Each structure stands twice: as C-alpha cells, then as structure tokens.
Amino acid sequence: MAPHMAEWDQKEIFPVETMRKAAQLGFGGIYVQPDVGGSGLSRLDTSIIFEALSTGCVSTTAYISIHNMCAWMIDSYGNKEQREKFCPDLCSMEKFASYCLTEPGSGSDAASLLTSAQRKGDHYILNGSKAFISGGGDTDVYVVMCRTGGKGPKGISFGKKEKKVGWNSQPTRAVIFEDCAVPVANRLGEEGQGFNIAMKGLNGGRINIASCSLGAAHASVQLARDHLLVRKQFGETLSNNQFLQFKLAEMATKLVASRLLIREAAQALQEDRPDAVAICSMAKLFATDECFNICNQALQMHGGYGYLKDYAVQQFVRDIRVHQILEGEGFFLSLVI
C-alpha cells in the first residue's frame, strides 16, 4: 500500500484490488469464524495487523477495519443461513460492507436514530438517512441500524461523495432509504436487540481504529527520525540537537504506552471481561489523541517540508485526525468511561 498511499489520497481511489489481495492473506474477516471463511484470530492479533497495515495506508486500513466489524456482526449475530450467505463473500472481499449507524441528527447519541423499519409481510420497509457512511455507494452489504418501534423512485439511494480532509482512499456518502424493502430474513438477531449489537460492534471498532492510529504514529516517528538524520542546520544534522532527541524519545514513549493500552483493551474484549467497555473506550480516547500529537510533532520536525504533499507525514496527520471523532468522539468516550 505504501507506494500508492499518496496517489490514492490525491485521486480519491478506492483500491478494491489491493484490498482483495489483503483478503487473500486472511484480512477480510480477521476475527470471523473459519467455517464461513474467516481467519478466526483474536482481537489482539487484529490490533497488531491493523497497526502494521496502517503504516502503509491509514485510510485504506481504516476501511478494512470497518468491513471486518460488519463481517463480525453478521458472523456473531446472524443465523446459519445469514452467515453462510454473507460471510464468505465478505471474508474474500468479493463483496464490501458498510456500517450504517450515524444519521444527520444522531451522532454520539446513537439511540436517538430515526431511520424506521416497518414490517409488511416478509419484508421491512425502511425510511430514513444515514450520514458519513464509509464506502457508501461503492459497497455491496449494508449493516443498517434502524428503529422498528415508534417513528419512524423508491429504495436505497446515495448522497454526493463527501470531500474530506483525509481518508480519501475510501468514499463517504449519505445512504438514503425511501420505502426500501428489505427481507425479514436479513434481520440480525431479534427486534429490540439491534442497539446492543451495534454497541458490541463498536467496542471492537474502537480498538481497530485506535490501532490504525498506532500504525500512523509508528510510521511518523520513523519518518521524523530519518529526516533528522539527514537535515542539516547550523552546520550539523538535526539529529544532534538534544531538544529534538528528547522530543523523539517522548514521542516513542507515548507510542509504546498507547500500544500497550490498546493491546490490554484487545485482551479484555477477547476475554469478555466486565471492564472491557471502559478499557476499550480508554484505549481509543488515549491512543487516538496521543498518536495524533505524535504525527503532528513529526510534521513539525520536518519544518516546511512537512507541509508539502511530497512528504508522507502530512497525510498521516490528515488521515488520523478523524479517528478522534468517529466510533466514539473523545468527550463522549469520557462520559462512557
């Protein structure tokens, strides 16, 4: 991914074939069960994989992490028919998935969503809009959270492709439902369970996104180190400047601290510990903030060069800024904790 990261960003390319190569390595359903094509790996394995992949392209890896969350939800909460119908194609990335929770009027307050599903015979009729949907319009399977009780050409349509600061290798659109008929057979779990299923998906999603921030921070520390070794000012390389040496040491320390907290959270989730929700929230809050600061400091160490698109560090800064917002915004996570 690394050689193509800048091009995918600038041309807003959704790298389908590259992701299918990743799926051949087992990265399309990392923590999905093997009987439907998954790799059956742990949450800790998953975190390590997403950290590594993000050193090559944060935006693409972040999409892969969302795709994995959707596949896991179907694997974990779907019945035998649903698992066999959807999971193999998702694990091979023959088909791509989108997670549809956020709405124009409900972000952190997910329980206030308005998209409705009214049952008519063997179908639900969906009405409403979802906002900021990663992959929206370019993906095949939509895991949609909607309200079966209360408020609530026809079918599914998409808003314009959003122009974003980062995450440009994945399209983002509104997903709009107008009398969209969906078979009852496609419902995950029972009516009324959806909110809990969505939240359980996000616990893993928070670790995954935080792991993507780790990869960006790791790559940025290395880029900063390499730049300091060659950039000369005042007759010597910047690597001889003690202030910058100390700064780099501080960045490396915060990177490792973030990594350890994320891996602890992954282990807690894997073991279904009672403190897992809090620790996953802590890991995302701490690591996405610290890793952004690391990337930003790495850009600063590049001086004016860091602000040029020829240098990768600026893309890491742009791509991980949104990690402090989605799948649990910072202030909201403090509330959860």
Nearest in space to 76 (alpha carbons), one of 32, 42, 141, 43:
32
How far is the C-alpha of 323 from the C-alpha of 321, rounded, in Å? Answer: 5
- One-letter amino acid at 157 equals S
**Residue 96 Ramachandran class (φ > 0 left, ψ -120 to 50 alpha, else beta):** beta
Q: Record the tokens describing residue 267, joined without a space.
A: 């282990």
How far is the C-alpha of 297 from the C-alpha of 217, rounded, in Å? Answer: 10
The β-bridge partners of 183 are 123
Question: Residue 184 carries which DSSP code?
Answer: G
How far is the C-alpha of 176 from the C-alpha of 155, rounded, in Å? Answer: 8
Examine the residue annotation and report whether 103 is marked as an active-site residue of this protein.
no
Length of the chain equals: 337
**Rg of the chain (C-alpha set):** 21
For helices 276-301 and 313-321, the axis angle rounded to 10 degrees is 150
Nearest in space to 162 (alpha carbons), one of 150, 151, 170:
170
Say if CB 9 and CB 308 are below 8 A apart.
no
**Catalytic residue among 51, 271, 327, 329, which?**
327
Nearest in space to 188 (alpha carbons), one of 40, 92, 76, 93:
76
Helix, coil or strand: residue 234: coil
For helices 242-270 and 194-230, the axis angle rounded to 10 degrees is 160
> Could you tell me the CA-to-CA distances from 60 to 54, 67, 93, 166, 235 in Å, in that order?
8, 11, 13, 11, 41
Tokens 């510990």 belong to 273
Q: Which of the residues are catalytic?
A: 327
